[in-house]
Chain A
Amino acid sequence: MDGLLLFIAGLIASSAVAMVVGISFALILPGIERKVQARIQQRVGPPILTPGWWSVLKFMYKSKVEPIAQMPAFYKSLVLIGIVIVSFLLLFVTPYWWSILGWGSILGIAGLLKLEEVLYVLMGSQSQSIMSSSMPVPDLAKGSKFIGIRREFNEQHSAERSLKMMAIGSIPLYLGLVVPFIAAGSGMLNAVVSLQNPDYIVSNWMAIPIPSKPLLFTIPGAMGAIVYFLGFVMLMNEKPFSILKAKIDVIEGGVLEYASSLRAAYYLMRNLLMFSLSSIFNTLFLGIPFDPFMPSMMLINMLLSLIPVVSMATLAAFSPILTFRQIYPAAMGISAFGVLAMILASSL
């Protein structure tokens, strides 16, 4: 009984530490992202804390407004649900959660990611911003060829796009996610980490266990990492795969109507998702988990999670928005590459 109580206490403590560190670090990432892009574009760019921390704080201090949505209460709850999902995504890869009900496994991670994607569909179908068809300008003509056609909000169009992205765009991420588990021959995170970093399982909290054979430096692992990274960009809806919130037609997609504190919550959700996915990358491909009770591992994980973020910012700065004309073949090619990585990984 004492063992169980101790375990629960440890679970709560580690989750609290992970959340506090995770959120404070996640809100620095957008600043770094923006700064990298700005330097590529030959300008100074905003200070690192501005797009993350200060923006979130500022939105929290703005007055509350009711969003224009079909079901405002539901719409408002969506972003909070998103934060819960992303927080669990971060927590599931911390070692205390690995042993609970098999959540620290491929199923837990993939399931949560899928839920996260569904949120964009729901947000898009709810939001009814003034920026598209409800703009009060006289635009209906008596002599028009098209009278009585359903006028759709941009966000609804964005929801349709996110359905398509769910169907094809997210496959690479899941394929990349599966590669380390296949290499380990198990569905549990524990096995993946102990394959790459055997010292980590046995060392105490002060130690600095260096992964002895990280998967990233094997051929299938490297291929899987590339596929995972492209899937990460697709899931983050960043350029070049940002069709569902392409600025030039649907402006921001379903999140258009979040104002003041809800917008702060959306910023938090997005950045925490970015950090969680980079952290998962380090856990899976390098064997360095985000362990709140082992400072060395936590710090190395946080530092290395800058790599996917900086690469994503660089990719975004050098690429236009792709339309479905390019996304379908691109996603198919990347998926094929991922399948090849899976086949190679099974022979490791």
Chain B
Amino acid sequence: MIQEKQTEKKVIEKELSFGPVHPALVEPYRMRFFVNDEIVEDCEININMAYRGIEKLFEGLPVEKALLIAERVCGICSNVHAWNSVRVIEGGLGIEVPQRANYIRVLVHEFQRITSHLFFFGHAFEVLGHETFAMRSFLLRENFMDLLQYVGGNRVMPSVPIIGGIRPRADLNESLKKVITERVDAFESKYKDYLNRAVEDPLVMSRLSGIGYLTKEDALKFYATGPTGRSSGWNYDLRREMKEYKPFDYDVIVLNEGDTKARVVSRALEVLESLKIIRQIVKGLPEGPVVNRSWVAKKMDYTVSYVETYRGELMHSYGLDQGGFIRNYKIRTPTITNLAAMEQACIGDHVTEAILTIASCDPCLTCCTRTEVIANGKSRIMSDAEIIQRFGWRK
């Protein structure tokens, strides 16, 4: 019995740890690889480095102010956090949103999906060691950063949605529609060239293919949502069920390979689908008001809202007390499950490839850090300050 256990135990030669300050990471987190020679036998990812106590900040704020914090949860997907934050109260209090506002919300959402995916390519190619492709994707990304600035007024924090609609300054006029159409057309041809170049490059493809396999069972087991799950053959996209996306015609990219290449390619194809949606919005933008201001904050039960973001499924939820102040804000971001899936997927790769595999789920950690202590059947969230005061620094 004891002998059997010993034979089952893996012999690990050494541990390599990277981060939180490291060229392969865009955010502070720490990867610990347990390796034999070059092969990764197991992996641990520590993600608590960016804990800022955001959920506590919301407590007791009026909802209009909460929007400001919600937008600053994350710098890549700022718009979707703001959007989801207002969707909670719109759903909970039954606030009517004009159709034109919904269209423009989706437009900005798709803009940011493209910038986010292009940033992902830049990051993935940087991790691959291919500086030229990384720079080219940053150059392509500038097109949509400009458009975001034209629509929202800021490159990163466009701050378009407010409760009941969008900010009137973000409304589209005819000249802006024309600019968007022109930019999208110019972008599409350049982007297709870029994709062809990348797909035909034998060195790049030899690096990407054959590593980081994530089976459909594992994807379901870890709830790897978004493109990460869809590239493992899990045909699930929340956009199908969102009423904002009902008028548009687009395909959901599902690939069955489940390796790192599939995760990159599925995002590359999603950009083309986003372009389709943007064209439809510009063409069929309905006339009418963009904001409905006839609402008052009142007592609201704990309400949940889900949105399909660029990395997967995002949940925001809160309740309002009698005075209209926020209580019990909760955010659940897709990266936390995706990273857990990647921890599994990178086993068996070389060290250099394992980092690429982890990067291929497009980790976005600024929002997904919290510690939960489960004691006596009750769970509570513990802050970093508490942990360090109680357990001290690592020696």
Contacts and interface: CB of A to CB of B under 8 A. Distances in A.
Direct contact, A vs B (beta carbon within 8 Å) = yes
Interface SS of A by simple majority: loop
Interface string B221-255: 00000000000000000000000000000000000
A326 B209 CA distance: 12
A324 B131 contact: no
A319 interface: yes
Contacts of A325: 350, 353
B136 A132 contact: no
A190 interface: no
Interface residues of B, number: 48
B15 interface: yes
Main secondary structure of the interface of B (DSSP, over half): mixed
A247 B355 CA distance: 12
Contact of B18 (A41, A149, A154, A323): A154
Given A146-B34, A325-B350, A248 B17 contact: no
A137 B49 contact: yes
A37 B133 CA distance: 12
Interface string A297-325: 00000000000000000000111111111
Given A135-B20, A249-B355, A322 B15 contact: no
B178 interface: no
Interface stretch (A6-14, A197-205, A237-245, A263-271): A237-245
Contacts of A133: 15-17
Contact of B14 (A136, A137, A150, A248): A150
Contact of B207 (A141, A151, A242, A326): A326
Interface string A127-154: 0000111011111110011100111101
Contacts of B23: 247-248, 251
A323 B353 contact: yes
B217 interface: no
Contacts of A324: 38, 350
Contacts of A27: none
A163 to B, nearest CB: 11
Nearest to B20: A137
A59 to B, nearest CB: 20
Among all A-B residue pairs, the 3 with the closest Cβ atoms: A321-B129, A320-B130, A248-B24
Interface of B: 12-24, 30, 32, 34, 37-38, 42, 44, 46, 49, 125-132, 135-136, 139, 203-204, 206-207, 350-353, 355-356, 387-388, 391, 393-394
